[in-house]
Every structure is written in structure tokens, then in C-alpha cells.
Amino acid sequence: MRVVIDTNVAFSAILNTNSRIARIILHPKTRFNFYSTEQLLSEIQEHKGKIKKLSHYSDYELERMISLISNKIRFINVKLIPKLIYDRAEILLKDIDKDDCEFVALTDHIRGKLWSGDKRLIKGLLKKDWNNFISTEELYEILIKRW
């Protein structure tokens, strides 16, 4: 299964590597293929100070956690997403949150599921009949059944 990880999911995994989210991403026998755009890496770098403050990691520990999580994700350059798909995502998100455009466009492009904890995003897109989401609980259930 192709799963697009958005920023809040990645942050959660980095902040708590013992969480259910992190266990799903880091599971050695997972059959999930995790994807994101390079925007995720940019946002992690942009908020490194905040992550460090919340996590109480040393610089070394923080870099290690970021590396641990990001190494499980395939990062796709947004320029590889066809313009038509990207434009559709922009229209869907214009009154929700344009910052999530790359994640929604990538989800449509790879015909995957978007893993997000952003309730506003989910609610807004569901109102527009876009429902390519998968929850942490659903992923965990699939992982447990396969294991």
C-alpha cells in the first residue's frame, strides 16, 4: 500500500519514537511504501528548534531521530507530479490549507492514501468528497494482521 506521510505525522514520529505512529513507520516487516515530498524535509529543518525543545533531545539524538524516520520515506520531487493533478489539489485546498497541496497532489499522483492527523484538512477535504485518507488506527490494524 502506498501511503503519503504529511508533516504532522512525521513530527509525531520524531518526537516519540515509541508511539504507534513511529512503530508503524519503523516496523521492519511493514509492507507499506511511505512517500512524501521534499517539503516535509524543509518543514522539519524549519522547525528543528521547536522539535528539539519539545523532545529534549540533544543535537545528536535529534539528527538520529530525523534520520531514522526520514530513511523510511521515499521523497518525491514535486516537479514530477503532473500539472493537472497539482492544479486540482490547489483548487481543493484553496479554502482549507494550501500548505498541504503537495501531499494531496502526491497522494492522487501515486494513487495512494494520505496519512494525516490534521483534522481541519481531513474535514475540509471530506466535505469536497476527497477521501483518500488512512488513519493511524487503520494502518496499525493492517500491520498487526500481516505480522
CATH code at 129? 3.40.50.1010
Taking only the tens place, the pLDDT of each residue in 106-123 is 999 999 999 999 999 999
- In three state form, how does the secondary structure of 71-136 look? CCEEEECHHHCCHHHHHHHHHHHCCCCHHHHHHHHHHHHHCCEEECCCHHHHHHHHHCCCCCECCH
In a domain, 87, yes or no: yes
| Global pTM exceeds 0.75 | yes
> Is residue 32 helix, strand or coil?
coil
Q: Kindly state the helix (H) or strand (E) to which residue 139 belongs, with its residue range.
A: helix 136-146
Give Cβ neighbours of residue 86 (< 8 Å, ≥ 6 apart). 78, 101, 105
CB 20 within 8 A of CB 136: yes
In a domain, 147, yes or no: no
Which residue range is the domain that position 60 belongs to? 2-142
Q: Quote the pLDDT of residue 146.
A: 66
Taking only the tens place, the pLDDT of each residue in 27-53 is 988 889 999 999 999 999 999 999 999
In a domain, 26, yes or no: yes
Q: Quote the pLDDT of residue 7.
A: 94
- State the total domains in the chain: 1
The residue with cell 514530477 is 80
Beta bridge partners of 114: 4, 133
Q: Please report which confidence band the pLDDT of residue 126 belongs to, taking 50, 70 and 90 as the band edges.
A: very high
Taking only the tens place, the pLDDT of each residue in 57-80 is 999 999 999 999 999 999 999 999
- CA triplet 33, 43, 14: central angle to 5 degrees? 60
In a domain, 13, yes or no: yes
